Amino acid sequence: MNNAGYGVPGTFTESDWQVHQASLDVMLNSVTELTWRLLPGMQARRRGFVVNVASLAGLVPSSARHTLYGATKAFLIKFSESLAMENLDTGVAVSALCPGFTYSEFHDVTGVREQVSQMPSWMWMEADEVVRFGIDSVTRQPPRVIAVPGRANRFIAMLAHKLPQRLAQRMTQKESRRWRKQD
């Protein structure tokens, strides 16, 4: 599993470019390069799995104050979709795992633990559940190219896909105000 990531809190212009560049190096370049380096060996063996850990954030309208996070996760989803199509006949399965809120140190590192701890428990998943779902998704026949663990997360993804874009954006904007630091 390619699982590299962190959020840069605050508005886009609050952080120096070097901070954003470092984030892009971890969130995009490292995942893309690692896949590029390992995929030929898998193709040669005619077996293997690539699981890119994206996020539900890549499937819903992006929220303010974590500007690059959703955008980079959307890239990972599209990257995984393309790789999956390219590898249909190679024996290599590719999946984008798109978890929602997962108990981990992620929210401590980004400094939003206090805010997100107020969210309802039904929105959260345990890390081992997410990992198990990701492995099951890429190893099943046919593999799930976009794997969204948890009923609540699948409902949110479906809602974001079905609602008119302006309405989905307004709903995301309203909810993100509740859960993001507004300094």
pTM for this model (two decimals): 0.85
Residue 123 is classified by DSSP as: G
Per-domain residue ranges for the chain?
12-115+123-178
Whole-number pLDDT of residue 86:
97
State the average pLDDT over residues 143-162.
93
Residue 57 or residue 120, greater confidence: 57
Whole-number pLDDT of residue 120:
67
Whole-number pLDDT of residue 183:
43
Q: Is 103 a catalytic residue?
A: no
Q: Which residue in 51, 60, 69, 99 is the catalytic one?
A: 69
Residue whose token pair is 């590898």: 87
When mean pLDDT is compared over 75-79, 111-115, 163-167, the highest value belongs to 75-79
Whole-number pLDDT of residue 47:
97
Write out the DSSP string of 35-76: HHHHHHHHHHHT-EEEEEE--GGGTSPPPTTBHHHHHHHHHH
pLDDT above 70 covers a percentage of the chain that reads 84
Residue 146 or residue 179, greater confidence: 146
Q: Distance (Å, rounded) from C-alpha 107 to C-alpha 126?
A: 14
10 Å CB burial of residue 100 (0-12, 13-18, 19+) is buried
Residue 23 and residue 43 in contact, taking contact as beta carbons nearer than 8 Å: no
CATH number for the domain whose boundaries are 12-115+123-178: 3.40.50.720
Average pLDDT of the chain to the nearest whole number: 86
Residue 181 has pLDDT above 60, yes or no: no
What does the pLDDT look like over 42-90, one tens digit per residue? 999 999 999 999 999 999 887 777 789 899 999 999 999 999 999 999 9
What does the pLDDT look like over 132-150, one tens digit per residue? 999 999 999 999 999 999 9
- Chain-centroid distance, C-alpha 63: 14
pLDDT band for position 102 (50/70/90)?
A: confident
10 Å CB burial of residue 67 (0-12, 13-18, 19+) is buried
Whole-number pLDDT of residue 108:
56
The first and second tokens of residue 51, run together, are: 């699981």
Residue whose token pair is 């795992």: 97
